[in-house]
A and B are shown apart, each in its own frame.
Chain A
Amino acid sequence: MTRGWALRCVGLVGLALCSRATLLARVKDAKLPAWVLTAAAEQTGPLPATANAVVLYDSQLLTIAPDGKAEYRERTVVKILRPPGRNDALPIVSYDKDAPLKSFEVWAIGPDGHRFAMQKNQYVDLGDPGGDGVLYADDRYRAANPPGADPGGIVAWEYVQKIPSYEQELTWNFQQDIPVVKSLFRLDLPSGWNYEANWFRHAAIAPMEVGPNEFRWKAEHVPGIDLNRVPLAPAWVALASRMVVHYSAKPIPTSDSALWAQIGQWYDNLAAGQTESGMNIKTAADGLVSPNAEFMTRLKKIAAYMQQKIRYVGIEIGIGGLRPHSAEEVFTNQYGDCKDKATLMISMLDDVGIRSTWVLVDTHRGFVAPDVPSIDGNHMIVAIQLPEGYENPQLQAVVTTESGQRYLIFDPTNEFVPIGLLPNYEQGSWGLLVDGANSQVIHLPVLPPGSDVTEWNAKLQLAADGTLSGTAQVQQAGAGAWSTRYFYAKSTPRQVQDHMNAVLHEDLNEFTLVSDKIENVRQLDKPISISYKLTVPDYAQTAGTLLLVRPRVLGSVEHGLQSKTRKYPISFPAVGTWRDSINIAMPPGYTVDDLPDPVNVDLGFADYSSKVQAEGGVLHYTREYVIKKLALPASDYAKLRSLEETISSDESNTVVLKKE
C-alpha cells in the first residue's frame, strides 16, 4: 500500500521463512475464490526470459464511507516461474495501530494443480526490525509461507485494512520489480466526494466510472524494473510508475501548485504546535548565541548544536511517523529523528530571530516529483529564511520561492555537511516547503562541481630497486566529504587503521605505512585531510633494463561499468571534481624512455584530462575529472562507457624509465 512496504518487507521475509518453515497449509483442493481462479487462468503474454515470477493480477480497492472512514482491500495473484521467484510470492503486509488489518487470507495452487487455503493460525506477525537509527516503530507485518510455492505454482492473497483518518491520499504502485499482467485500482467515494489523480512516469490512464462516484483504473502488461547489479542506477522508487490519488469531501485543487500548498498547509497544522519552545529552549538558544549577533554567527551556532548535540534516534508510533515530537521533548532528551531535529532547530532559530520551516523530502533522488503532489517522503530537513539582500558565499544551497523569498536549505540530521551546503543525496531532488497556504514544491539545488573537491597530492621518491617512498595526502572538501568525515568520526582507531590499509591495498600490493595523520574531521569549514607516509617495495616493476612506473599512484575514479548496453537512466551519487597531483622523483641515473600520451576528454556532462611530464628528474602526473550532471539518460551510456574505458586505461598507464 505504501512504497515503504515493499522495501522494508524484504528483510522480514527471511525471518518469516526461517522461523516458520513448518507452517501448515490446509486440506486438499480447498475452495478458492473465483478471482483467484480467473487470474490463474490468465494468459501472461510474452515475458522476459529472466522473469522469475509474474503478477497475474493485482487489484486494489479504496472505499470511503460517507463519514470519511476509509478501508483498503488488496488482492494479489503471483505465478512463480523459476525457483528464485518464490521470494516474489511471499504474502506480507504491514499494519499498525492506526491502520489495523481487518483480514488477511492466503491461497495457493501447486504446480500439480492442488489447491490450498491457509488458516489464520498459520500466519505469523513480525515487528518492525528497526535499524538505521530507528529504535522503535509500531509497524508490524503479517506474513505467510504458502504451500505449493514452486515453479509453476500460484500464490494469491487478500487483505483488508483500515486507513487512518489523517491520510487523504493513496498510491497505486502498478509497476513492480517483476512483470505485472493486470493491475486494477478502484476508488469508491461517497456521493459528493472528490478525487484528483497524479501520475508518475506514466501517461494518465482514464478511469472508468463503474458505479456512482466509483472509478476504476486499469494497467496491463507492465514490465518489471530489476536494478539488480545495475551500476549507477537511480533509486528504484524513482523509476517505478505509480498513481497518487487524493480524495476529500471538499474540493481538491486541480493545479499541482495549489495541491502542494494544501498538503503543506495540512502538515503545518499538524506540526506547527510542536515548535513551541519554553524557557528551557530559549535559555539554551540564548546561551549559544545572542539574538543580536550577526546572522551567520547565529545560524552556525544553532546548526552546530543540532548537528553535534542532538543524537539521532527514531521512535515512531502511529501518526508519529509524520508528526514530530515537541521541540521541548527533543530538547529535554537530546535525541530525536529527522523531523524532531528539524522541529527543535526551527524552534531554536526562532528564539534567536531567524524564521525557518520544514521541508519534506525523500533521500531517493527523483522520487518526489513536482507534478505528483504527495505527502509521501522519507526525510525532513529545514528551510531557513535569508534576510533580504543577505549574501554570503558560504551559503550555497539557496532556493528562491515563487514569492521571491530566499531560503537556505539545511539538513540538521547529517552531522557532517556544513551549514550552507546540502548532502549530495538530497541535491537535485524536490521537496515540499511547508509554509501554510504558501507551501510549495521546491527544487533542491545542485551545488557546482567546484564545491565538492577530492584532491590527491603526493611527493614521492623512487629508488632504483623499484621502492617508492614519501608522503601522500587526500583532501576532501564540500558536501560529498560527509561520508568520509562520518567514518573517521565514528570509527575506533583499529577500524580506522584497517580502513586505511584497505584503501591503500586497492592500489598497492605490499607497503609499509610509516605514519598517518587525519585532520579536520569535525572542522566542517575545512577539508578533511588524510596523510600517509609510506614505503612501497617493488612499486616500479623491472623488465630487462627498464623500470615501469604507474604515475597514478593512489585513488581511482572509475565506476566499474561492465555491461555493454543500458536500459535505465544513469544517476551519479554527486557532481564534483577529483584532482591528482603526484610528483615522483626518479632514481638517480634514470631517464624517461616512454611517457603515456596526455588525455583530454570533454563530454559535456563530464571532463577528464591527465598528463605526465618529466622535468628536473621528477615525474609530474596531474589529472582532473569533473562530473557536471547528476543524471544522464540511458542514451548517454555509450559515451559514459567510452569515458570509463579511457579512465581505466589512463589509470593503468605506465611510464617507462631506463638507466642512462
Chain B
Amino acid sequence: MRTLGLISRAFFVLAVLATLNILPATAEKWYQPTQKQLKMTTDPKAPNAAAVYLFREEEVNDKVHMHTFSAVIKILTAGGKKWADVKLPMFDPSQFQIASIQGRTIEPDGRVVPFKGKPYKKLIFQGDGVKVMRQVFTLPDVQVGSILEYRYILDYDNDTISAPRWFIQQPLFVHEAHYHFVPSNNFREYTSTDAQGHQNLANQLLYGGVLPKGVQVRSGLDGYDLVVKDVPALVEEKDEVPMNSVSERLLFYYSPFTGSKDFWNYEGKKWSQSVNRFAADSPVIQAAVSKIVSPSDTPQQKVIKIYEAVMKLDNTDYTRTHSAAENKAEGVKEKNAGDIWKAKEGTSDEITKLFIALVRAAGVQAYAMRVCDRRYEIFESSYLSWDQLDNDIAIVVIDGKEVYLDPGEQYEDYGELAWFHALTGGIRQTAQGTELAKTPGDSYKWNTESRLATLTLAPDGAISGTVRVIYTGDFSLRLRHEMLEDGLDKLKQKEQARWNNLTPPGVRVKVDHFLGLKTPDANLMEILAVSGTLGTRASKLRIIPGNILEAGAKPLFTSPTRLMPIDLGPVYMTQDQVTVTLPANYKVQGIPKPESLQFLPNTAYRSVYQVTGNTYSYQRVSVVAVSEYLATAYPQLKSYFQQVSQADQQPLVFKVGAVTAQAEAPAKAASGAAGPAGAK
C-alpha cells in the first residue's frame, strides 16, 4: 500500500518546510529586478526591515511528486546579509531529496554573481530508524543592496504524495508570492496514519487556513492558485501569543475525512477510546481506591483524596522518563492506569488518566480533555492536526457541577488549572462522546504572592530583617517545578537574583529557606534574609524608597510600539505588608503619596504609607486579572505599568538628627542580627 506523505512520514518534513524560509520556484527564468528594486536602500512598505522578499514562489505538483521553490530577497541593511546563508528545510533522505539548487547574487549595479559553490548536506538527527538531513549553502558577494535569488526542487518517490502547507507570513515582509498546487489524481489510493496509529485511505482533498483580507484561493482544472501581495513580516515581541498558531497560512490535506467536524469526531472517538482503555477499571484500581477513600466520603472528599494521592506519585515529566526496557528490567509495566499506580510513577498524561480511573472507580463521573498548551499553541479546529493538542486534563462532576483539574501538573493545587491549560481549547469526553471545548480561565486569586517584611533600619542606613513570602497557584507551581528540574541550589540562586533585582541598590537579599516546597496543595513559604544598606544619604537627610520590595523593579514594557497581541501569562495578585523600625534620630520629612490605579476592572494597584512613632509601614496590592490584550491596548497597558513603577519608586525622606545612645541601639541590633527567625 502506498503511503500518503502528508499525514504520515512526509508530514514531519512539510511541517518543517513550512516553518522555514524557503520557497518555491517553477520559473525556469530568473527573476528580473527593476531598476527601482536594484537601487532601493529602504522599503517604504517595510520601513523596519533588514531584508524583504521581493518575490516567492512555490509550485507543488503531486502528479509528478515534486515541489519547486524560489525566493528573491533584497538586502537592506548589514543585518540583512544573514539571509544569504540559506538553510533549506529538513528532510528524510529515504523519501525525499533536494535537487537542482541554483542561486545568484545581483548587485545594485545589476552585475550578476552566480552561485558556483557547493550545497552541504548536514545531518540533523539519525537514530531509531529515522534520519533527518538539511542542505545549506551561502550566496557569493553579498553586500547591502544586493538581491539574492535561489531556487531548488524537493523531489519524492512515487509512493508518496505530499499536499502543500503554505505559510504565507514569513519573518520578512513579502511583496509578492505565488503558490500553485496540482493535486494527485489518484490520492484515494494512498493511506495516512491517524494520531492513534490507524491507517485510513484518503478520501477528500481539503484545505483551510488564515488568508490575508480579500485574498481567495482560485481553484480550477489546473489545480489551486494563490497570489498574495504585501504580507507583513512576523515579528517577535515580549509576552506575545504563540504566533506560529495565528500567522497567515493555507494548508491542504488529503484526508480520509469530509471536513473539520468529521476529523475531530473521528480522532476524538479514537482518543476517547484509548483514554477509556487506559483508565479501565481493574482489581488494582479498585484496591487502590478502597485504600484512598472511605465509602462515607462525599464525592468532593473522594476526589480531593484521590487528587492528593496521585500528586504523590513520581511525575516523570519532571524527573526522567524511564524507557520500556528499563521498566521491564525493573519489573514495571506501564500499559494502563493500574500499572501506573503500582509503579508509583508515570508521565503527566498517564497520571491524569490514572486519576480519572480512580475517580470513576470511586463512583464519581470523570472525563478527560486533551488541550493545547497556551504557551506554545492556540487551538484551531480548522487546522486538522491532532498534534496541536499537548496534554490531558481531567473534568470531574461533583454535585452536578463540572470541576476542571490538572493532576498531571505536579503540585498543581486542587481545583485549579495551570495557567497554560486555562482559557485554551481542545477536545473533551462527554456523556455522549466527545466535543470540542474550551477550558475556563484562571483566577487572580489562585496565583498570589504575599510578602510580609519586618525590617530594621540603623542610623547608618544598614538594613536587616526578614521577609516571608507566601506563594499560591502558579507562583508556587513555578518554584516547585524549578526545584524538581534544577534542584534546590539553583532555585535559591535564581530566587536570590530575582529579589536582588526587585529591591533597591545596596540591599542584599538571601534566600534562607523554603517551607512546604515539597508538600502538594500546601502554601509555599520562602524566607528571605535582608541585609546591606537602604537608601542614600544627603548630609542632613536619608532618602529611602517607599516600596522597598519593588523599588528596583523595571517597567514591564519598554518598547514604544507594539504589533502583536499580548499574553501576560498567569493572572495574579501580589500583596505587601512591610514594617520598618526606624532609628530614633530619624524625623520624617516626606512620605510617599498613597496611590490607587486601575487599568481594567480587576487590574488595579493600591499602596498606602504610614509613619507612626519610629515605625514606617506600607501596604501594597497589585492585581492583574486579565492576561490577554490586543496590540491596540498596548499604549494604555504600558502606561499603566509605568505608573505602577512610578508609584513604587516614591521616596521616603528623613531628616537625620544627632545620634543618641537610644538611636544606636537598633543599629547594633541590626548588625548583630544572625538571620531570620526560624532560620536553620
Contact with A along B389-412 (1 / 0, CB 8 A): 000000000000000000000000
Contact with A509, one of B320, B487, B649 (Cβ below 8 angstroms): B649
Q: Which of A23-46 contact B (CB under 8 A)?
A: 23-29
A543 touches B653 (CB 8 A): yes
Q: A25 touches which one: B140, B329, B485, B559 (CB < 8 A)?
A: B329
Q: Which residue of B lies closest to A143 (CB)?
A: B127
Name, among B536, B589, B590, B645, the residue most crowded by chain A CB atoms within 10 Å (CB to CB): B536
| Contact indicator B329/A494 (Cβ below 8 Å) | no
Whether the Cβ atoms of B120 and A541 lie closer than 8 Å is no
Partner pick for B77 among A128, A334, A492, A548, CB 8 A cutoff: A492
* Alpha-carbon gap, A617 to B77, bound state (A): 46
Query: How many angstroms from the CA of A123 to the CA of B558 in the assembled complex?
Result: 46
B538/A86 in contact, CB under 8 A: no
Name which residue of chain B comes closest to A80, CB basis.
B320
Could you give, for residues 3-32 of chain B, a 1 whenever the CB lies within 8 Å of some chain A CB and a 0 otherwise? 000000000000000000000000000000
Asked if A110 is an interface residue, CB under 8 A from chain B, the answer is yes
> Assuming A510-B642, A562-B508, is B493 touching A116 (CB within 8 A)?
no
Q: Which of B81, B137, B504, B558 is in CB contact (< 8 Å) with A505?
A: B558
A497: chain B residues within 8 A (beta carbon): 559-561
A311–B84 CB distance below 8 A: yes
Is the Cβ of B123 less than 8 Å from the Cβ of A126? yes
Give complex CA distance A510, B642 in Å. Answer: 6
Is B49 on the interface with A (CB-CB < 8 A)? Answer: yes
| Contact assessment for B506 and A110 in the assembled complex, using a CB-CB cutoff below 8 Å | no
Which residues in A have their C-beta under 8 angstroms from that of B554? Answer: 505-506
Distance in Å: Cβ of B332 to nearest Cβ of chain A: 11
Q: Is the CB of A52 within 8 A of B649?
A: no
List residues 478-510 of chain B with CB under 8 A from any CB of chain A.
484-487, 489-490, 493, 496-497, 500, 504-506, 508
Are A541 and B329 CB-contacts (below 8 A) given A83-B484, A140-B123? no
Q: Is B142 engaged at the interface, CB distance under 8 Å to the other chain?
A: yes
Q: Is the CB of A548 within 8 A of B543?
A: yes
Residue of chain A at shortest CB distance from B535? A652
Complex Cα distance A110/B332, Å?
14
User: In the complex, how many angstroms separate the beta carbon of B431 from the nearest chain A beta carbon?
Assistant: 35
A550-581: contact bitstring with B at CB < 8 Å (1 yes, 0 no)? 00000000100010000000000000000000
Decide if A542 touches B506 in the complex (CB within 8 Å): no
Chain A residues within an 8 Å CB radius of B645: 509-510
Known contacts A86-B320, A126-B125, A335-B142; decide if A594 and B505 are in contact (CB<8 Å): no
Q: Which residues of the other chain, B, contact A127 by a CB distance below 8 angstroms?
A: 122-125
Q: Name the CB-closest residue of B to A512.
A: B560
For B490, give the chain A residue with the smallest CB separation: A84
Q: Using CB atoms, name the residue of chain A closest to B506.
A: A648
Closest residue of A by beta carbon distance from B141? A334
Q: How far is the CA of A487 from the CA of B324 in the complex (A)?
A: 49
Q: Which one of B321, B486, B506, B559 contacts A498 once the chains associate, using CB atoms below 8 Å?
A: B559
| B321 contacts across to A, CB distance below 8 A | 21-22
B78 touches A544 (CB 8 A): no
Instruction: Tell me the minimal C-beta distance from A417 to chain B in angstroms.
Output: 16
- Once the chains bind, are A313 and B329 in contact (CB under 8 Å)? no
* B323 A50 Cβ-Cβ under 8 A: no
| Cβ-defined contact, B508 with A509, below 8 A | no
Q: A125 touching B126 by the CB < 8 A rule?
A: yes
Q: Is the CB of B138 within 8 A of A135?
A: yes
Contacts of B559 in A (CB 8 A): 497-498, 501-502
When distances are taken between beta carbons in the complex, the residues of chain B under 8 Å from A506 are 554
- Known A-B contacts A83-B484, A544-B590; A124 and B128 likewise in contact (beta carbons under 8 Å): yes
The answer to whether residues A543 and B651 also contact, given A83-B484, A135-B85 and a CB cut-off of 8 A, is yes
- Asked whether A369 is an interface residue with its Cβ less than 8 Å from the other chain, the reply is no
On whether A28 and B560 interact (CB within 8 A), knowing A313-B138, A543-B589, A548-B543, the answer reads no
- B127 to A, closest residue via Cβ: A124
Asked if B117 is at the interface of the complex by the 8 Å CB criterion, the answer is yes
Chain A residue numbers with a CB within 8 Å of B320 are: 86, 149-150
Could you tell me if B487 and A52 are in contact, using CB atoms closer than 8 angstroms?
yes
Q: Are A334 and B125 in contact (CB under 8 A)?
A: no
Q: Is the CB of B120 within 8 A of A135?
A: yes
- Residues from chain A with a CB closer than 8 A to the CB of B486 are 84
A266 at the interface (CB under 8 A from B): no
With CB as the reference atom, state the residue of chain B lying closest to A15.
B125
Residues 570-593 of B at the A interface (beta carbon under 8 Å): 589-591
**Does residue A489 face the partner (Cβ distance < 8 Å to B)?**
yes
Point out the residues of chain B lying under 8 angstroms from A123, CB to CB.
Answer: 127
Q: Which residues of A from 474 to 522 have beta carbons under 8 Å from B?
A: 489-495, 497-498, 501-502, 505-506, 509-510, 513
**Shortest distance between the CB of A366 and any CB in chain B (Å):** 25
Contact indicator per residue, chain B 111-129, by CB within 8 Å of chain A (1) or not (0): 0000001001011111110
Query: What is the CB-to-nearest-CB distance from B364 to chain A, in angstroms, rounded to a whole number?
Result: 33
Q: A492-B77, A493-B48 are in contact. Are A562 and B558 (CB under 8 A)?
A: no
- Are B589 and A544 in touch, CB under 8 angstroms? yes
A74 within 8 A of B: no
B505 to A, closest residue via Cβ = A648
Cβ–Cβ < 8 Å partners of A276 in chain B: none
Residues of B within 8 Å of A214, CB to CB, are: none
If A110-B326, A123-B127, A596-B536 are given as contacts, then 15 extra A-B residue pairs at C-beta distance below 8 Å, sorted by A number, are: A28-B330, A83-B484, A125-B127, A147-B325, A229-B497, A332-B140, A490-B50, A490-B78, A501-B559, A505-B555, A509-B646, A543-B591, A594-B538, A653-B536, A655-B538
A-B pairs with lowest CB-CB distance, top 8: A543-B590, A124-B127, A490-B79, A127-B123, A147-B326, A594-B538, A28-B329, A543-B653
Could you list some 28 contacts between A and B, CB below 8 A? A15-B125, A25-B323, A25-B326, A25-B329, A27-B329, A110-B326, A110-B330, A121-B128, A127-B124, A130-B122, A135-B136, A140-B123, A150-B319, A150-B320, A311-B84, A489-B79, A490-B77, A492-B77, A505-B554, A509-B645, A542-B590, A543-B590, A546-B653, A558-B505, A594-B540, A595-B539, A648-B506, A649-B533
